Amino acid sequence: MRLHRNLVFTVIDSLNSIFNEGIYADKAVEAALKRDARWGARDRKFVAETIYEIVRWKRLYTEIAETKEHYSRENLWKIFTVWAVLRGIKLPDWKYFENAPERRIKGRFDQVQAIRKIKESIPDWLDAVGVEELGVKWDKEITALNIQAPVVLRANTLRTTRLGLEKSLNENEIETIVDEKYPDALILKERKNVFRTDAFKSGLFEVQDASSQLVASFLDVKPGMRVVDTCAGAGGKTLHLAALMENKGQIIAMDIYAGKLKELKRRAKRAGAHNITPRLIESTKTIKKLKESADRVLIDAPCSGLGVLKRNPDAKWKLQPEFIDNIRKTQEEILESYSRLVKRGGKMVYATCSILPSENEQQVEKFLENNSDFKLVKENKVSPSESGFDGFYMALLEKS
């Protein structure tokens, strides 16, 4: 691989905005890709993937470069040098690479392999939490969470079938893989910009990780039901529910953020999902009005997001231990509050994109201790190391 000056400078500028200005990695990548309309697919891929990789391995590269977590431009170049050397890329004759200690970089990389928190590039506190909650499983899970996530599509069965989508994408030279464990999923063989395709504009699919696609079907919905999606956000799972319900019945999609519900409306229109009613949670009255009215309730609870580090590597650096403590309290309150929407004989799913038992099965156990009218029907713990996809948890509860 030959390094091109304008692409590398874009990477350095983007890393500066992420490490020094607190910009989220996805926003920095989005801005970077708009810098030069002349860039081809290969250039854009280099910029996006290099930014994400250096963010993902920030601690490892900083340790090898011995820059002591000070992200001056000089140090960003040293970190970039580590990235390039470890990938076997020939360094060009630029002043930034003068006297690059290539042999020392490789030697230092070998030395740190015995220290998990450096090898896996995570903060000390996160390593401690992982060991405390998952024990020996933590090793495999954190290794899996450092592997770049594949791009997975969910065929929108309101408009097409998985086979129909596969054919449509093939016409655009986008090759996909089928995994029978996920009935509506297509996995891209290589990363491509699928948002420019006619298939996307026609609402034939959504981009949604395979693990996330398990949640809506876990709720056991049927056409004609009244379903409440209590933390709908921009509606990935809401749209899947609409497809599973064949546009029949009603989905009340609730959230505390008006902007997310506006995005959900836009996506629902493209998907041809007509049975969704967005509803902003303005006070507890919004919830009280729906008491014991729903056949099914989905609680896609706010969480640490540790199960999705594959696709959000900068979350490792933005997450703080006190946030996890606080989010557990929020999860507890949400479960208590939103469970009241389930009618007798109805069901609800509590789901997170976390792999920590304290956010998952322990929350459900605590809830069941205080709510004897609910029972656990089944649960699914999706392991990143076993599935190759995001880490998820889901529990199906039934109200007697």
Rg (CA), the chain: 23
Flag whether 391 is in a domain: yes
Same domain, 48 and 74: yes
Same domain, 232 and 203: no
Flag whether 392 is in a domain: yes
CATH code (residue 269): 3.40.50.150
Same domain, 189 and 224: no
Which one, of 187, 117, 141, lies nearest residue 306 by Cα? Answer: 141
Name the residue range of residue 378's domain.
218-399
Same domain, 201 and 171: yes
CATH code (residue 182): 3.30.70.1170
Q: Total structural domains in the chain?
A: 3
pLDDT in tens, the chain (400 residues): 899 999 999 999 999 999 999 999 999 999 999 999 899 989 999 999 999 999 999 999 999 999 987 899 999 999 999 999 999 999 999 999 998 999 999 999 999 999 999 999 999 999 999 999 999 999 999 999 999 999 999 999 999 999 999 999 999 899 999 999 999 999 999 988 899 899 999 999 999 999 999 999 999 999 999 999 999 999 999 999 999 999 999 999 999 999 999 999 999 999 999 999 999 998 889 899 999 999 999 999 999 999 999 999 999 999 999 999 999 999 999 999 999 999 999 999 999 999 999 999 999 999 999 999 999 999 999 999 999 999 999 999 999 9
Same domain, 337 and 280: yes
Flag whether 126 is in a domain: no
**Catalytic site residue from 353, 364, 396, 397:** 353
What's the predicted TM-score (pTM) here?
Answer: 0.94
Same domain, 56 and 156: no
Flag whether 146 is in a domain: no
Flag whether 145 is in a domain: no
Final residue of a structural domain among 99, 121, 143: 121
**Contact (CB, 8 A) for 365 and 395:** no
Same domain, 107 and 234: no
Flag whether 143 is in a domain: no
Flag whether 212 is in a domain: no
Same domain, 273 and 302: yes
Same domain, 196 and 287: no
Same domain, 234 and 96: no
In the chain, the DSSP E strands lie at: 152-155, 176-177, 185-188, 205-207, 226-229, 250-255, 276-280, 294-300, 342-352, 374-382, 392-399
* 231 part of the active site: no
**Contact (CB, 8 A) for 278 and 265:** yes
Cα 11 from Cα 47, distance rounded (Å): 6
Same domain, 181 and 223: no
Final residue of a structural domain among 68, 102, 121: 121
Kindly write down the DSSP assignment for every residue of 133-167, as one continuous string.
HHTTHHHHHHHHHTSPPPPEEEE-TTT--HHHHHH
Same domain, 243 and 355: yes
CATH code (residue 113): 1.10.940
